[in-house]
Amino acid sequence: MLSPLLYTAPDDAVEATVLDVLEVGLSAAFGLSVQRLSRSRPPEGAWNARRGQYDASERLQAVGGFVPADPARVLGVTSRDIFLPGLSFVFGQAQLEGRAALLSLARLQQEFYGFPCDTLLLMKRACTEAVHELGHTFGLVHCRDPRCVMSLSTTVNQVDAKLPEFCGSCRILLHESTGMATLSSEPSRDEEEHP
């Protein structure tokens, strides 16, 4: 069994079934095992009553405090809506080449937009954006390929247009950054589509 090098740090309201699927997706994407840390409540200082949202930077800083001593990455997972100054919301935030990332499920849920609950769609979106945010911690920046998991998403439609995997270029960059052999063991989409 692989050593746990990826951790999830859920808040007190994230459903266990969503976390289970998310952790399987992260393990597959990065070739690392994933371990779940204890649930926690968001820091009180992160709440912005005027906006009715949580400050993503404050939440990310709190997630950074959960990073274990080993060379790991931690993904905070919250069900609450988050924002950054100058932006009305974000799906997540990460420390570029750092060790902490944050994912919000709030706007990935169909109910947020007035539609019936769709758990399968939520799980697909959550996996996609979780891989995206953790990709930043491994040094990846936004990709121009709209299908790549590392492409920028400012709307849920852009999230839906992405695949929950790296394009060939980003896969190579990630492999070079981490040296993880598992990342280069499968052909990329580009290689499959252009033999």
DSSP state of 108: G
CA distance 171 to 165: 9
User: How many other CB atoms are there within 10 angstroms of residue 1's CB atom?
Assistant: 4
Answer whether residue 23 shows pLDDT above 60. Answer: yes
> What is the predicted pLDDT for the residue at 53?
96
> What is the predicted pLDDT for the residue at 116?
97
Answer yes or no: are the C-beta atoms of 5 and 72 closer than 8 Å. yes
Answer yes or no: are the C-beta atoms of 9 and 76 closer than 8 Å. yes
Answer whether residue 161 shows pLDDT above 60. Answer: yes
> What is the predicted pLDDT for the residue at 153?
95
pTM: 0.88
Residue 66 backbone phi and psi in degrees, to 5: -90, -5
Tell me whether residue 133 is one of the annotated catalytic residues: yes
Determine what percent of the chain is predicted with pLDDT higher than 90: 73
Q: Is residue 152 part of a domain?
A: no
Answer whether residue 3 shows pLDDT above 70. Answer: no
Q: Is residue 181 part of a domain?
A: no
CA distance 183 to 195: 19
Q: Is residue 148 part of a domain?
A: no
Q: Is residue 112 part of a domain?
A: yes
At 131, which CATH number? 3.40.390.10
CA distance 113 to 156: 10
CA atoms within 13 A on the CB side of 6: 25
Into how many domains does the chain fold?
A: 1
Label the pairing between strands 33-36 and 92-94.
unpaired
Residue from 58, 129, 133, 165 carrying the catalytic annotation: 133
Q: What range does the domain containing 73 cover?
A: 4-141
Q: Is residue 8 part of a domain?
A: yes
Across the range 122-138, mean pLDDT stands at 96
> What is the predicted pLDDT for the residue at 115?
97
Chain centre to alpha carbon of residue 179: 21
Lowest mean pLDDT among 23-37, 55-69, 98-112: 55-69
Q: Is residue 100 part of a domain?
A: yes
